[in-house]
């Protein structure tokens, strides 16, 4: 899997209107003739279509090459980030049987805030008051849930409780967190380049962050070996750290 930043000028073809529609949070393409969107939590099949799998493949190539990556039958899975912050995943046959797929999680310009979560009933004001107290008391916090259940959103809300006077280092695979504090160092992992070098892992960044005098380390998502480093840093004086974990 590879991640990089796509060019803002990429011609998105039939997906452009969907990307421009504010209510659409996710755009999902399966082969040339099935384009789904997610709007307010519900999936819809749209009328949008590509002329052929080749045309869809050409769009995938445009997105991927704009960030200096390559996707082909040999490496048929690819992650990228568009210039606006949207996350892109593309797959090709033989990994995806019914043609190329493209999944775009649109960048949430206005990430939900604690008031929003209380309003929609995610939790009571009392619950979030308790969570705020946990953050202020430097409890280590781990947000767990399945795909798309709101982990990053909740982590963003929890981060918003961190006092302004503290130094925060955020570490993510693809930068999504939107902290309002000023004293934040944002770090992002990076896959290997085409020549196989230059990879920076979450684990590298966690280890490095320990030397950056962090008051808090916020890790977007712990998946592999970094989980161990994260637990260790939580245990060795960097209390008040936060991360998410896939359930
Ligand atoms: N409490 C909530 N109530 C309603 N919608 C929410 C809530 N939390 C998140 N969402 C919406 O759900 C979508 C997914 O949220 P988010 O990115 O936080 O999930 P995630 O668990 O981090 O996903 P992933 O597993 O892909 O990293 C977003 O569109 C977000 O605005
Ligand atoms: Mg997430």
149 lines ligand 1 (CB under 6 A): yes
Rounded-to-integer distance, Cα 235 and Cα 223, Å = 18
What digits encode the pLDDT tens for the residues 50-109?
999 999 999 999 998 887 778 998 889 988 888 788 889 999 999 999 999 999 999 877
Query: What per-residue confidence (pLDDT) applies to 7?
Result: 45
Q: Which residues surround ligand 2, an ion (CB under 5 A)?
A: 151-152
What digits encode the pLDDT tens for the residues 94-127?
999 999 999 999 987 778 899 999 999 999 999 9
Distances in whole angstroms, Cα of residue 200 to Cα of each of 82, 190, 204, 207:
19, 5, 6, 11
Rounded-to-integer distance, Cα 60 and Cα 63, Å = 5
178 lines ligand 1 (CB under 6 A): no
Asked whether 217 and 207 are in contact (CB, 8 A), the reply is no
Atom 6 in ligand 1: residue holding the nearest Cα: 150
Report the relative pairing of strands 242-246 and 184-188 from DSSP bridges: unpaired
- Bigger pLDDT: 73 or 32? 32
122 lines ligand 1 (CB under 6 A): yes
Rounded-to-integer distance, Cα 172 and Cα 206, Å = 10
87 lines ligand 1 (CB under 6 A): no
Domains and CATH numbers, the chain: 5-105 (3.30.450.90), 114-246 (3.40.50.300)
Q: How many CB atoms lie within 10 A of CB 26?
A: 17
Between the CA of 29 and the centroid of ligand 2 the distance, in Å, is: 20
* Minimum-distance ligand 1 atom for the alpha carbon of 155: 18
What digits encode the pLDDT tens for the residues 149-181?
999 999 999 999 999 999 999 999 878 898 989
Average per-residue pLDDT for the chain? 88
Between the CA of 173 and the centroid of ligand 2 the distance, in Å, is: 10
Asked whether 171 and 209 are in contact (CB, 8 A), the reply is yes
């Amino acid at each position: 899997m590879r991640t990089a930043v796509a060019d803002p000028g990429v011609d998105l073809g039939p997906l452009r209107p969907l990307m421009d529609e504010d209510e659409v949070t996710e755009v999902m393409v399966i082969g040339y003739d099935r384009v789904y969107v997610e709007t307010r939590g519900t999936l819809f099949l749209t009328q949008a279509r590509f002329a052929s799998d080749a045309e869809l493949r050409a769009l995938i190539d445009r997105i991927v090459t704009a960030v200096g990556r390559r996707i082909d039958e040999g490496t048929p899975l690819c992650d990228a980030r568009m210039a606006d912050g949207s996350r892109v995943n593309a797959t090709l046959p033989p990994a995806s049987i019914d043609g190329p797929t493209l999944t775009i999680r649109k960048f949430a310009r206005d990430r939900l805030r604690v008031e929003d979560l209380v309003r929609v009933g995610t939790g009571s004001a009392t619950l979030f008051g308790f969570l705020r107290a946990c953050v202020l008391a430097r409890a280590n916090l781990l947000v767990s849930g399945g795909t798309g259940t709101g982990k990053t959103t909740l982590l963003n809300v929890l981060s918003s409780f961190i006092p302004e006077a503290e130094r925060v280092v955020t570490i993510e695979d693809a930068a999504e967190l939107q902290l309002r504090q000023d004293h934040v160092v944002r770090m992002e992992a990076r896959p290997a380049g085409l020549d196989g070098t230059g990879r920076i892992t979450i684990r590298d960044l966690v280890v490095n962050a320990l030397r950056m005098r962090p008051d808090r380390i916020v890790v977007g998502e712990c998946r592999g070996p970094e989980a161990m480093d994260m637990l260790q840093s939580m245990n060795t004086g960097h209390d008040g750290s936060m991360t998410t974990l896939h359930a």
